[in-house]
Structure 1
Amino acid sequence: MTTQDILSAITYQAASTTEHFEQIVALQNQNLYKSLTPEEQDQQGFVFAEHTVELLQQMASQIPQVIALYKNKVIGYNLAMTAAMEKQLPSLEPMFREFYKIRYQGKILTAYKFFVGGQVCVDKDFRGLGLLSKLYNATANLAGDDYELCITEIAVRNVNSLKVHQKMGFEIAGTHRDEFGDWYVVVWDIRKI
């Protein structure tokens, strides 16, 4: 099967079933920083925040949680959160606090209509096919015109993730440090797509 055959067989949609959310959690668990060796983290990247099926369903009630499906299996996902979910994941509260300090194009991030993009994850067997960009674009399209920016953070040591995000248009707006390490706050201006 060619790469083009694989790409044409992948579909993108909002997660809608318990099975979708369970598969997201399974893929997340395979790629959590604490599940990978430092070498694997350097080579493949990693995800940080941990979600439950229940939390994902709550998030999906506010904004689409986009999945990539291949033969009915979740092979990638892009989770999204609204600003209203600031307190739902304690590990992300330091990131949200930074949004009140960091500026983008002369304005504080919270002055924009934004959603938090990511975490984004692609199954290791499907990396290098441009799925990250497709997942983010599907999220922006499904979220609609209610938002101006997609904001997320990337661990400074997650060099691969930063490169891929910058390639698709994310810009570094600031940095911060919390108990887990150093982070880039990155912004994707979805008004430009």
Structure 2
Amino acid sequence: MKAFEATVLSPADIDSLLQLQQNNLVQHISSQTAKTQGFLTFEYTRDILERMMTDMSQPVIISEETLVGYALATSIRVGEEIELMRPLVKMASELTLNGSPVSQLRHYFMGQICIREGWRGNGLFDALYAAHKTLFSPYFDCMITEIAVDNLRSQAAHARVGFQKIHTHRDATTEWVVVAWDWRP
């Protein structure tokens, strides 16, 4: 298996990322694909991505000039500005991670991770998260995200990388599991 190395999203690649996102949103794929391959729930816009890029690098993998995977990083500041992220940002401040209040930890949020169909199962997911750890662990204690409870493939992949469940909740339409990757020694 080829080893993949992540780079960071450039403004020229935003349209490619947005197209990959569109192709994997739960409303644009079959229920069988959602069940076996995972799915995306949140829809980001160019404006939101540009705001996210002002605070944090956005790890991506590009192969032969094609964006084949991405893993979006969201600062607390930008998360508070994004309607979709605001509830998680607020909730996280009330949670604990391995005995420590998240509000006292240096943390940020995983906005979304996606691997292009045909590229899954080749180590890109792990490579993107390795890039997060390399880029951000000197400045942050942990990363937090939430996954739809019925997205079993994503939950398993996150657990394999090192994320642990810290909370579950339900919003108006979906049940979520909140997970965190603790980088503290």
TM-score (norm 1): 0.90
Alignment RMSD: 1.4
Judge which range, 94-103 or 63-72, deviates more.
Answer: 94-103
Partners of 1:124 and 1:183 in 2: CA distance? 24
CA contact (8 A) 2:106 2:140 kept: yes
* Structure with more helix by fraction: 1
Mark the runs of 5 or more structure 2 residues left unpaired by the alignment: none
Partner of 2:121, secondary structure, is coil
Residue matched to 2:6: 12
Mark the runs of 5 or more structure 1 residues left unpaired by the alignment: none
Residue matched to 1:189: 182
Partner of 1:136, secondary structure, is helix
Q: 2:47 aligns with which of 38, 51, 54?
A: 54
Map 1:58-73 → 2, pairs under 5 A? 58-73=51-66
User: What fraction of aligned residue pairs are identical, expressed as a percent?
Assistant: 28
Residue matched to 1:75: 68
Moved over 4 A (4+): none
Partner of 1:126, secondary structure, is coil
Partner of 1:188, secondary structure, is strand
CA contact (8 A) 2:95 2:101 kept: yes
Corresponding pairs, count: 185
Deviation per CA, 1:131-187: give whole Å up to 9, x if none: 111101112212351101011000001001000100111000111111231101101
Partners of 2:11 and 2:26 in 1: CA distance? 26
Residue matched to 1:127: 120
